Amino acid sequence: MMRIGLDKMKKRALTATAVVVAGVLLSLTLSVKQVSAEPLRVGVYRGVISALIYVANAQGLFKKQSVDVVMNEYGTGVMAVSDLLADKVDIATGAEFAFVLQSFKHPSLRIPAAIWTGSNHDLIVRTDHGIKKPQDLKSKRVAVVRGSSMEFFLYHYLIFNNIPAGSIKVVYLEPSEMVNAMADGTVDATLSWPPYTSEMTKRLGAKVARWPAQSGQDYYIVLAVKEGFLRKQPKTMERFLAALSEAEGFVAKYPDRAQTLLSQRLGLEATSVLEMWSGSRFGLQLTQDLLVLMELEAKWAMRNNLVQSKEVPNYLDFFYFSALDKVKPEAVGIIH
């Protein structure tokens, strides 16, 4: 009798344990399904500066983190952020300047991390149109993308070289349009970035000169998201950054392999990728310099009537620190 009682107790204990284990396994299965059920739509600027995202995707690092990423590619960060606001993507990449312009009307926007910083804006000028020095830009037609970091750096370039802003004619074009506009002489100069600057110098050769245009100030490529997304999927944001952090390690350890990957993925010559790589710093970060730059850009946008506001937003409220604090706390340099 005693033996039978003990056997029954063991069977009940084993049954209870099996139920608990099954429950845990079911919970984990459901958790994985919840992570991958809704694809994460990422609006990516199509360029070398988005290397961390391209590398993470190609190396299977998003899948490793149980994040199902669907990438939509854009010619400018402005377009990517616009689609974020239209709920066509969940995360957008773009220069911090595009974020600043939208921040005045959309206080629910957040930056969980920057993924790149550097200096690659150049002024390409038609020397055969009489432009030999910066002051020769007066009365000339200069192309930029409306509401972009190009426009911000152009005006600071003019100030740096004592050129009245009203003395040039600004022409608003998309980057892909600038190459032909420069080639056919529709514009005399353009402030742009690779690969467009490289293509212009390749096509026009001795007819153009190339001048650095950022006056010593780096800019950033940031991730932009909506606050609502972060409330609903904070773990997804952490997993996404974790994948990018692994990609950062890959890029640092195997730069040649990363460059080859980008060359093939973007259809660029290896020399073009290498040129764009120079002056680039790939890595997750939230720095005090980024915060200060955004405040400067906001003031400039207000002065130039790009936004309708009398006050600069408090950009500390626009940063989402939680995910990067958990994934890579040493990359957070903003006191909060």
Decide if 220 contacts 202 (C-beta within 8 A). Answer: no
Tokens of 178: 């600038």
Burial 62-97 (b: 16+ CB within 10 A, else e): beebbbebebeebbbbbbbbbebbeeebbbbbbbbb
CA distance 248 to 115: 9
**Model pLDDT, residue 99:** 94
User: Do 38-118+218-331 and 122-212 show the same overall fold?
Assistant: yes
Domain limits, the chain? 38-118+218-331, 122-212
* pLDDT > 80? residue 36: no
Question: How would residue 7 be classed by pLDDT, with cut points 50, 70 and 90?
Answer: low
Give 210-244 pLDDT, tens digit per residue.
Answer: 999 998 889 999 999 999 999 999 999 999 999 99
Q: What are the tens digits of pLDDT across the range 110-163?
A: 999 999 999 989 999 999 999 999 999 999 999 998 878 888 999 889 999 999
Please name every residue paired with 142 in a beta bridge, in sequence order, or none if there are none: 170, 189
Looking at residue 146, what is its pLDDT?
Answer: 84
Compute the mean pLDDT over every residue in the chain, rounded to the nearest whole number.
Answer: 89
The first and second tokens of residue 243, run together, are 């994948």
The maximal CA–CA distance of the chain, rounded, in angstroms, is 108
Tokens of 239: 């997993």
What's the pLDDT at 64?
97
Tens digits of residue pLDDT in 176-215: 899 999 999 999 999 998 888 989 999 999 999 999 999 8
Residue located via tokens 């022409």: 171
State the amino acid at position 85 in one-letter form.
L
What pLDDT, in 10s, does the model give residues 16-27?
A: 454 444 454 444
SS3 sequence, the chain?
Answer: CHHHHHHHHHHHHHHHHHHHHHHHHHHHHHHHHHHHHCCEEEEEECCHHHHHHHHHHHCCHHHHCCCCEEEEEECCHHHHHHHHHCCCCCEEEEEHHHHHHHHCCCCCEEEEEEEEEECCCEEEEEHHHCCCCHHHHCCCEEEECCCCHHHHHHHHHHHHCCCCHHHCEEEECCHHHHHHHHHCCCCCEEEECCCHHHHHHHHHHHHEEEEECCCCCCEEEEEEEEHHHHHHCHHHHHHHHHHHHHHHHHHHHCHHHHHHHHHHHHCCCHHHHHHHHCCEEEEEEECHHHHHHHHHHHHHHHHCCCCCCCCCCCHHHHECCHHHHHHCHHHECCCC
Amino acid 26: pLDDT: 46
Strands across the sheet with 169-172, in order? 169-172, 141-144, 189-192, 122-126, 208-212
pLDDT at 172 over 60: yes
pLDDT at residue number 5? 52
Strand order of the β-sheet with 219-226 is 69-74, 40-45, 91-95, 219-226, 109-118, 280-285
State yes or no: pLDDT of 13 exceeds 80: no
Confidence of residue 95 (pLDDT cuts 50, 70, 90): very high
Q: Report the topology of domain 122-212.
A: D-Maltodextrin-Binding Protein; domain 2 (3.40.190)
pLDDT value of residue 193: 86
Task: Compute the average pLDDT of residues 258-280.
Answer: 92
In this structure, the chain runs to a length of: 336
Query: Is the pTM higher than 0.85?
Result: no
pLDDT tens sequence across 291-307: 999 999 999 999 888 89
Give the pLDDT score at 179. 95
State yes or no: cis peptide before 195, omega within 30 of 0. yes
Whole-angstrom distance, CA of residue 194 vs CA of residue 162: 26
Domain over 38-118+218-331 is classified CATH 3.30.830.10: no
